[in-house]
Chain A
Amino acid sequence: MDRVKMATVWLGGCSGCHMSFLDMDEWLVDLAQRIDLVYSPLVDVKEYPEDVDVCLVEGAVANDENLHLVRRIRARTRLVISFGDCAVTGNVTAMRNPLGVALEVLKTSYLDKSNLHPAIPSEPEILPVLLDQVRPVHAVIPVDYYLQGCPPPADRIRAVLEPLVNGVWPELPLAERRFG
């Protein structure tokens, strides 16, 4: 049987969703039988490949690099899954939004609240540029599936991936649709 070309990415988030992914423990071994992990923070591939079957997107779209990547993901992926609350709602990553635009956020963080060497970091081409507002993934590209939780519990991730890799559309029970 063909193996599923799967990717995971980590945008503006804490990587907790990936930690939860790893919490699937021994089922990961089963999963590994069914997929090729073609791009992920867990593997060393620099360029998001073409023709990916499914991508788990952790984190919100917070900077220009996120924006670029997520658009590329959409163009090269058949099923995009918003993976965890930051991707689905913006969540903690978006807590900066009420502060205002990017410059206001940087001022607050690096000038107003700084006691030592207040300065706004600026390393063009090295540091990605913050977007004025953090946005959930579906506000930027169409999303095919939403996986809630901060982080989504390992069992919930499995409940989505297991049918998917077997060619079945996952139907999570309502109780597994809980945010937070």
Chain B
Amino acid sequence: MELAELKELADKEKAEQKPIRIRCCTAAGCLSSNSQAVQQALTDAVTTAGLADRVEVLPVGCMRLCCEGPLVQVDPDGAMYGKVDPGQAASIVGTLQGGQTEARVIDTNMPFFRDQVSIVLENSGRINPERIEDYLSVGGYQALLHVLREMTPNQVVETMTRSGLRGRGGAGYPTGVKWGLIAKQPATQKFVICNADEGDPGAFMDRSVLESDPHRVLEGMAIAAYAIGASQGFVYVRGEYPLAIHRLEIALRQARKMGVLGTQIFESPFNFRIDIRIGAGAFVCGEETALIGSIEGKRGTPRPRPPYPTESGLWQAPTLINNVETLANVAPIITRGAEWYASIGTAKSKGTKVFALAGKVRNTGLVEVPMGITLRKIVEEMGGGSPGGSIKAVQTGGPSGGCIPASALDTPVDYESLTALGSIMGSGGMIVMDDATKMVDVAKFFMEFCMDESCGKCVPCRAGTVQMYRLLARIVEGEATAADVAQLEALCDLVRNTSLCGLGQSAPNPVLSTLRYFREEYNALLQPAPPAPPPSNQRIPLPVARG
């Protein structure tokens, strides 16, 4: 197949689309609010109204404003309805014939939608994720074809490097550089792994992408595979995401059937096969060496790096591990060019970032924003602020991240700024906390998480998190003194510096960041300490003159 034919397919698909399309969100969030019944009711209403020849009802992926689900949007005029009840279907369809609807109208011009810049989510909520034809109709797999026909692997790596894309899993390693390291390895067997083990509680960007636009991730993997010389890929996806797994399976089947994955892709010598591996509930498996162990069918315990997976990963072969969002950026960068991508964002953090906005914030859901936007803009303008009170802190980076105080909300979102604040970019979970949230409780919550999720291999993480948790519990119970806080801080230092993997090394972050910004909340819980006696060894010589 050549580009012209692929484009022809896309055009044909577009031509077959009906002029009016009613899109109904069927990502996991809206599905749980009964969107499937809404979709059915809409379809029935279209038939009943005799509009079936020019109106179609389309199941699509995430439309972002999760708190208003089930969401329905009507093309081409773009009217959006929220919290749609199946009983409102007829009146929504009726609007197409000049009727009125009692359905809740969502303002698509509010900052939540208006200030988004869509790259990763450009197809989310627009196409049917279960039809490869829908993906083709929006230019899908054209980037892969272009790469196979027109670019050398080196050129692909070089394009990724110039784009400035950095890993969206949290650490922010430059994607092109990583690809280049693996491309240089002489090994014949290499692997691409898509890390879809979205383990941070409060993060659901990757789930949404997989549920809404799975082919984009597969295309990104295939381009990566071509660039580094791999012929086998794995998607390691959380077992807690059944719908994402289901849609990935469908996408893989369709991609194989269409010949965009498999052997001699687009009649080129390039072969690439993708298999799904389903995680079984272990946060630590987001760590790349643990993830590799898990794919190999082992306990997901990390091993020390070096050697890095880029040299010795899955079955000791050089292995590229990129997260879902990183891979979802690949095809657009190829299509629109590295310079276009690099023009978005800040000097060191390019492009956009998808955040999952949740917690004590009015508008919960997904926002894709250019790097460099301020936290305030995200949580106050787009998120609509906190419904119950004022915002106290924003938590980013999950259990590895930190709590950013309201006073720092004007910080631009980029890797370095968030790290400087004692948090991390993380994978994109952004949880808003208001005045009712007790920050020491939050630190304890995360420490319990890390303690339970520690794999148990290295001593500081296994035993240190337990002690930190105990100390935090004592503080929360009001039994602790300043000495306990000092010991907590010493343990933070130990666990951060001596743990084997990222889980342990970052486990102290929620404690350290809450201590840094909310120490008075700790102090308020402490027992008054008795006045410190002089050091023991200064209490001799013993026989003091006693009269």
Asked whether the complex places CB atoms of A and B closer than 8 A, the reply is yes
Of the stretches B56-64, B344-352, B534-542, the one at the interface is: B534-542
Chain A 148-180, CB within 8 Å of chain B: the 1/0 string?
000000000000000011111100000000000
A78, CB-defined interface residue at 8 Å: yes
Which residues 497-547 of B have a CB within 8 angstroms of A?
533, 536-537, 539-546
- Give bound CA distance, A119 to B311, whole Å: 67
Chain B residues whose CB sits within 8 angstroms of the CB of A56 once the complex forms? none
Which residues 1-42 of A have a CB within 8 angstroms of B?
1-4
- Give bound CA distance, A98 to B46, whole Å: 68
Query: Which of A2, A145, A164 sits near B546, CB closer than 8 Å?
Result: A2
Instruction: Report the minimum CB–CB distance from B320 to chain A (whole Å).
Output: 47
Chain A residues whose CB sits within 8 angstroms of the CB of B539 once the complex forms? 78-79, 144
Check A164 against B542 for contact (C-beta < 8 Å): yes
Check A145 against B536 for contact (C-beta < 8 Å): yes
Chain B residues whose CB sits within 8 angstroms of the CB of A142 once the complex forms? 533
Instruction: Report the minimum CB–CB distance from A168 to chain B (whole Å).
Output: 7
Chain B residues whose CB sits within 8 angstroms of the CB of A53 once the complex forms? 542-543
Check A2 against B545 for contact (C-beta < 8 Å): yes
Instruction: Report the minimum CB–CB distance from A90 to chain B (whole Å).
Output: 16
- Give bound CA distance, A1 to B452, whole Å: 59
Considering only CB atoms and an 8 Å cut-off, how many residues of chain A contact the other chain? 18
- Give bound CA distance, A168 to B538, whole Å: 10
Chain B residues whose CB sits within 8 angstroms of the CB of A145 once the complex forms? 536
- Give bound CA distance, A144 to B541, whole Å: 14
Check A4 against B536 for contact (C-beta < 8 Å): no
Considering only CB atoms and an 8 Å cut-off, how many residues of chain B contact the other chain? 11
Chain B residues whose CB sits within 8 angstroms of the CB of A3 once the complex forms? 543
Check A4 against B542 for contact (C-beta < 8 Å): yes
A61, CB-defined interface residue at 8 Å: no
Check A167 against B536 for contact (C-beta < 8 Å): no
Check B537 against A4 for contact (C-beta < 8 Å): no
Which residues 423-440 of B have a CB within 8 angstroms of A?
none
Check B545 against A79 for contact (C-beta < 8 Å): no
Instruction: Report the minimum CB–CB distance from A147 to chain B (whole Å).
Output: 13
Of all chain B residues, which has the CB nearest A169?
B537
Given contacts A142-B533, A144-B536, A169-B537, contact A78 B543 (CB under 8 A): no
Chain B residues whose CB sits within 8 angstroms of the CB of A1 once the complex forms? 543
Chain B residues whose CB sits within 8 angstroms of the CB of A88 once the complex forms? none
Check A164 against B540 for contact (C-beta < 8 Å): yes
Chain A residues whose CB sits within 8 angstroms of the CB of B543 once the complex forms? 1-4, 53, 165, 167
Check A79 against B541 for contact (C-beta < 8 Å): no
Chain B residues whose CB sits within 8 angstroms of the CB of A4 once the complex forms? 542-543
Of all chain A residues, which has the CB nearest B533?
A142
Of all chain B residues, which has the CB nearest A79?
B539
A57, CB-defined interface residue at 8 Å: no
Chain A residues whose CB sits within 8 angstroms of the CB of B544 once the complex forms? 2
Of all chain A residues, which has the CB nearest B536?
A144
Chain B residues whose CB sits within 8 angstroms of the CB of A2 once the complex forms? 543-546
- Give bound CA distance, A166 to B536, whole Å: 16
Query: Which of A51, A79, A165, A168 sits near B536, CB closer than 8 Å?
Result: A79
Instruction: Report the minimum CB–CB distance from B547 to chain A (whole Å).
Output: 10
Check A167 against B542 for contact (C-beta < 8 Å): yes
- Give bound CA distance, A164 to B541, whole Å: 7
- Give bound CA distance, A1 to B533, whole Å: 26
A54, CB-defined interface residue at 8 Å: yes
- Give bound CA distance, A165 to B540, whole Å: 9
Instruction: Report the minimum CB–CB distance from A161 to chain B (whole Å).
Output: 11
Of all chain A residues, which has the CB nearest B535?
A144
Chain A residues whose CB sits within 8 angstroms of the CB of B536 once the complex forms? 79, 144-145
- Give bound CA distance, A98 to B539, whole Å: 37
Of all chain A residues, which has the CB nearest B483?
A142
Chain A 120-153, CB within 8 Å of chain B: the 1/0 string?
0000000000000000000000101100000000
Chain A 40-83, CB within 8 Å of chain B: the 1/0 string?
00000000000101100000000000000000000000110000
Of all chain B residues, which has the CB nearest A54?
B542
Check A78 against B537 for contact (C-beta < 8 Å): no
Instruction: Please list the 7 inter-chain residue pairs (A to B) with the smallest Cβ-Cβ separation, ordered nearest first.
Output: A167-B541, A144-B536, A2-B543, A169-B537, A53-B542, A4-B542, A78-B539
State the B residues within 8 Å of A (CB): 533, 536-537, 539-546
Subset of 17 A-B contacts with CB under 8 Å? A2-B543, A2-B544, A2-B546, A4-B542, A4-B543, A51-B546, A53-B542, A78-B542, A79-B536, A79-B542, A145-B536, A164-B540, A165-B542, A167-B540, A167-B541, A167-B543, A169-B537
Q: A1-B543, A78-B539, A167-B542 are in contact. List 15 more A-B contacts (CB 8 A).
A: A2-B543, A2-B545, A4-B542, A4-B543, A78-B542, A79-B539, A79-B542, A142-B533, A144-B536, A145-B536, A165-B542, A167-B543, A168-B541, A169-B537, A169-B540
